[in-house]
Amino acid sequence: MESDIKVKIEKKTKCRIEVDIEVSSEIVKEASKQALKDLKKEIILPGFRKGKAPDSTVLKKYPDAYKERLEKKIADISFIKAHEKEKLPVLTQESKIVFKIKEYSLEKGANLHYSYETEPEVPKIDPKAFKTSKDKKIDITKKEIDEAIRQIRFFHAEWKEVDRPIKENDYIIIDLDSIESDTPQRVFSDTRFEVSDKGMASWMKELVTGKKIKDSLKGTSKPDENTSEEEKKNFESKKVLVTIKKIEEAKLPKVDDEFAKKVGAKSEKEMYESITKMLTEQKQTKHNQENRKKVHEFLLKTYKFDVPDSLIQNELNYRKDSYFKNPEFKKKYDKMTSQEIQKFEKDLLTYSEDAIRIFYLSKKIVADFDIKISDDEIKQRALIILYRETGQKPDLKNIPRNVYALAISQLVLNKAEDYILDHSSKT
């Protein structure tokens, strides 16, 4: 009955909730009855069958065990009754209920206090609140097609090694080491670069032009002049050692039907059509990614709500562990000033909170708009994740649970963002 229980709920920040509950003596008596029954099933007293010992004997023999079970029963029954009456907010998967019994007796009932984290209250999302421009037709220029074909021609080029100073449009094979520390760190080995503005960074082109085979050149990496201000700001200059191992000239094959057949097309015309289609799809993918990023930013900026500290902390720990598994980052971190460490920690906390927030927003969109995600889609995404991690063809029948869960998260996010894009206000 409602008169058996009184409930007071107080919502705190970060999805914490405090619940005070008063219950009648009837509930305490019911808890006592259940606690005694459970205890009698667990103990054996000489002269009595299991579970059949007199209540008074059990209470006299095991007072502490009875008290422990009684308080747990009072807490459990009271919480269930309170939930039936008030529909208490749902706990997060990570949350544990912390309870304290202020006082209780068989005659007067009990006063209890509960504290726990709840699921976030995610606001309703309006797709039309996101405004985007109408998609323009994706055009591929002749210059882009010619450059794509030029890159393909390099796979079928005749390479001639030369022994002279390096000049424009040569190709060089180099080793590159970072010499920031006392012990050089190999960045890459036997890697081919084209000595041109398109083929390498300006600082490297200036460094190697006019040099010869076996030369070892010290330099400092830096951003190109045409780099965006944001990229320049985030660029980290490094002292490097470039070792020239080969200088080559390339004779590229003629573009004709014979060449087209080498790359899997029936004719030169079909090759151009195929490359145009490929470039269009690549541009479309990039365009979609940029639009998804805009949706991502819109959702975080527009819909504010509290998220549980425990989930943020778990995400923060996961991200921090990922960083520190990278030896290069660990070295960089060890050299950071206290201010740089403070900024790193602050940024990581922001990224972690945003990740939890966007997860709940995406779930909300998928649920509210009844967006379907099939098991086949999840499995295919999981296989892609596994292939990227291992480089081997994965087994569809043995997908790890964590990979399956990651696949679901990615699909939920992508489908939610795509839904917002499809139903946004077009200007």
Model confidence pLDDT, tens digit, residues 123-146:
999 999 999 887 778 899 999 999
pLDDT digits (tens, 9 = 90+) for 303-315: 999 999 989 999 9
CA distance 100 to 103: 9
Question: Which H helix or E strand runs over 315?
Answer: helix 309-324
Q: What is the mean pLDDT of residues 33-52?
A: 85
Q: At what angle do helices 338-368 and 309-324 cross, to 10 degrees?
A: 120
Rounded distance, CA 151 to CA 231, Å?
Answer: 26
Which of 250, 236, 143 has its CA nearest to residue 193?
250
Least confident window among 14-23, 61-70, 321-330 = 321-330
Residue type, 330: K
Q: Is the pLDDT of residue 77 over 70?
A: yes
Report whether pLDDT(297) > 60.
yes
What Å distances lie between residue 166 and 21, 174, 196, 215, 221, CA to CA?
83, 12, 11, 11, 19
Q: Which of 84-88, 213-217, 337-341 comes out lowest in average pLDDT?
A: 84-88
Burial of residue 240 (CB within 10 Å: 0-12, 13-18, 19+) is: buried
Helices (H) and strands (E) in the chain, counts: 13, 11
Q: Would you state the structure tokens that stand for residue 380, as one six-digit string?
A: 């295919």
Cβ neighbors of 163 (< 8 A, separation 6 or more) are 212, 213, 247
Q: What is the C-alpha to C-alpha distance for residues 200 and 205, in angstroms, rounded to an integer?
A: 6
Q: What is the pLDDT of residue 1?
A: 47
Quote the distance between the C-alpha of residue 118 and its chain's center.
Answer: 22
Strands (E), 287-399: none
Indicate the average pLDDT of the chain: 90
Q: How far apart are CA 21 and CA 31, in angstroms?
A: 15
Bridge-based pairing state of the strands 239-251 and 171-178? antiparallel
Looking at the predicted structure, is the pLDDT value of residue 116 above 70?
Answer: yes
Mean pLDDT of 205-216: 95
Q: How far is Cα of residue 192 from the mean position of the Cα atoms in its chain?
A: 34
Are 415 and 373 a contacting pair, CB within 8 Å?
Answer: yes
* pLDDT tens profile 366-421: 999 999 999 989 988 888 888 877 766 677 778 888 888 889 999 999 999 999 99
DSSP state of 52: -
Could you tell me which of 127, 120, 106 has the C-alpha nearest to residue 14?
A: 120
Over pLDDT 90: what percentage of the chain?
65
pLDDT of 3 reads: 61
Domains of the chain and any CATH numbers: 2-117 (3.30.70.1050), 158-251 (3.10.50.40)
Nearest to 156 by CA among 274, 260, 279, 273: 260
Provide the token pair at 382.
Answer: 């999981």
List of residues 6+ apart from 323 with CB closer than 8 A: 329, 333, 348
pLDDT of residue 41: 86
Which residue in 250, 174, 183 sits closest to 214, CA to CA?
174
CA dist., res. 82 & res. 2, Å (int): 9
Structure tokens at 80: 């269930």
- Listed in sequence order, the DSSP H helices in 62-169 are 63-86, 142-155
The interaxial angle of helices 338-368 and 268-302, nearest 10 deg, is 100
Contact yes or no for 263/271 (Cβ under 8 A): yes
To the question of pTM greater than 0.75 for the whole model, the response is no
Beta bridge partners of 7: 21
Give the pairing of strands 5-11 and 16-23.
antiparallel
pLDDT above 80 (res 51): no
